[in-house]
Amino acid sequence: MMIRLAAIAVAVLLGTGVVSAQQSAQPMAAAAQPDFHTFIQDVRRDALNQGITSETLDHAFANVAYVPHVIELDHQQPESTLSFEDYIDRVVSQTRREHGREQFTENRALLEAVSRKYGVAPRFIVALWGIESDYGRLTGNFSEIDALATLAYDGRRSAFFRKELINALIVVQRMHVDPRAMTGSWAGAMGQSQFMPSSFLNYAVSWRGNAPPDIWTNKADVFASIANYLAHVGWRPDESWGIAVKTPAGLDQNLIGLGQRRPLSTWAALGVQQANGGALQDSPATASLIEPGGESGPAFLVFDNFRVILRWNNSSYFATAVGYLADAVD
């Protein structure tokens, strides 16, 4: 399972994470954090006990540095201040929709080949690519080792980031990835698919199969890795993500939420219609009624693939945005 920080995608898209990283990813001299290298030595001992070689550690930690800007960004996460409507407007902007359609057309042959292998529709691959890194444009230029070491040292979520730092070292050793080329967001999400190191180890694949996965510069590997992730966590090739609906006045509020699953015929009998007023089409799939923006916002009937997207990033805002963009690019 990809353990995600809610701020990663938001930071990328709103310009507070990756964009800032491109402007300022300056490390701090070791002398300013006298305990930092003591911490690194402790991590080194832990890594050695887990089978990471001294050669790998020497290479990865050769110029490791504490980066204050990472901590600044970690303390300035904006996601809690955004309404659902503001989030969708920014994340699924008209420009991103148009660019997504262009990318879909330009990469159609490759996307269809990846889709045939993994059973994930091309539009969802493009949507996740677009939301995570603006179609490869915003991947971040923080050193993966520096960012994770800084966050692990800081202490607020040290256990999580220490595990990811160890995983990053495993990536260096097992995948023969140059640590100098391992760059990503301030929060440690890497490449065009913005995988954390644990997800890279579990789901990143080489499309051609003749080299370690390259989610930084190889578009085929990016598409295949996104699709492989979704396929492994339960993607259903024969289903979409959800339907925008309108609900009748007086609908029992206890029916709203991912914990409630019903056939579309049952929802129709309760008075739920498509947002355009059309009748719901019967389907063997069950769906849940959600209102990610609250009672005053839009409502959706969502299928199991919505839950799969939540495995990628456990945010109903994010999962709905992926659905919106997927619908827009095809």
Distance CA 139, CA 216 (A): 8
One domain for residues 57 and 188:
yes
Residue type (1 letter), 283: S
Residue 118 is assigned to a structural domain of this protein: no
One domain for residues 142 and 214:
yes
Check if the beta carbon of residue 186 is closer than 8 Å to that of residue 11: yes
pLDDT digit string (tens) for the chain, length 330 residues: 344 544 444 444 444 334 333 334 455 544 457 799 999 999 999 999 999 999 999 999 999 999 999 999 988 765 556 899 999 999 999 999 999 999 999 999 999 999 999 999 999 999 999 999 999 999 999 999 999 999 999 878 899 999 999 999 999 999 888 898 899 999 999 999 999 999 999 999 999 988 899 999 999 999 999 999 999 999 999 999 999 999 999 999 999 999 999 999 999 999 999 999 999 988 888 999 999 999 889 999 999 999 999 999 999 999 999 999 999 998
Distance CA 253, CA 269 (A): 16
Residue 129 is assigned to a structural domain of this protein: no
Note the pLDDT of residue 14.
Answer: 46
One domain for residues 260 and 297:
yes
Final residue before a domain boundary, out of 232, 262, 293: 232
Q: Across the strands, what pairs with 243?
A: 301
Distinct helix (H) and strand (E) counts, the chain: 16, 7
Final residue before a domain boundary, out of 208, 232, 256: 232
One domain for residues 221 and 248:
no
Residue 133 is assigned to a structural domain of this protein: no
Final residue before a domain boundary, out of 232, 257, 285: 232
User: Do strands 286-290 and 299-302 pair parallel, antiparallel, or not at all (unpaired)?
Assistant: antiparallel
Note the pLDDT of residue 31.
Answer: 45
One domain for residues 307 and 268:
yes
One domain for residues 203 and 71:
yes
One domain for residues 166 and 315:
no
Question: In CATH, what number is assigned to the domain containing residue 73?
Answer: 1.10.8.350
pLDDT in tens, 164-178: 999 999 999 998 888
- Edge to edge, the sheet with strand 299-302 lists 262-263, 286-290, 299-302, 242-246, 273-274
Residue 27 is assigned to a structural domain of this protein: yes
Question: In CATH, what number is assigned to the domain containing residue 279?
Answer: 1.10.530.10
Check if the beta carbon of residue 280 is closer than 8 Å to that of residue 308: no
Note the pLDDT of residue 6.
Answer: 44
What global pTM score does this model have? 0.89
Check if the beta carbon of residue 169 is closer than 8 Å to that of residue 56: yes
One domain for residues 177 and 53:
yes
One domain for residues 73 and 178:
yes
Q: What is the residue range of 67's domain?
A: 6-77+138-232
One domain for residues 319 and 208:
no
One domain for residues 253 and 225:
no
Residue 169 is assigned to a structural domain of this protein: yes
Q: Domain count of the chain?
A: 2
One domain for residues 144 and 175:
yes
Note the pLDDT of residue 85.
Answer: 94
pLDDT in tens, 279-323: 998 888 899 999 999 988 999 999 999 999 999 999 999 999 999
Residue 65 is assigned to a structural domain of this protein: yes
Residue 127 is assigned to a structural domain of this protein: no
Residue 130 is assigned to a structural domain of this protein: no
Distance CA 138, CA 131 (A): 10
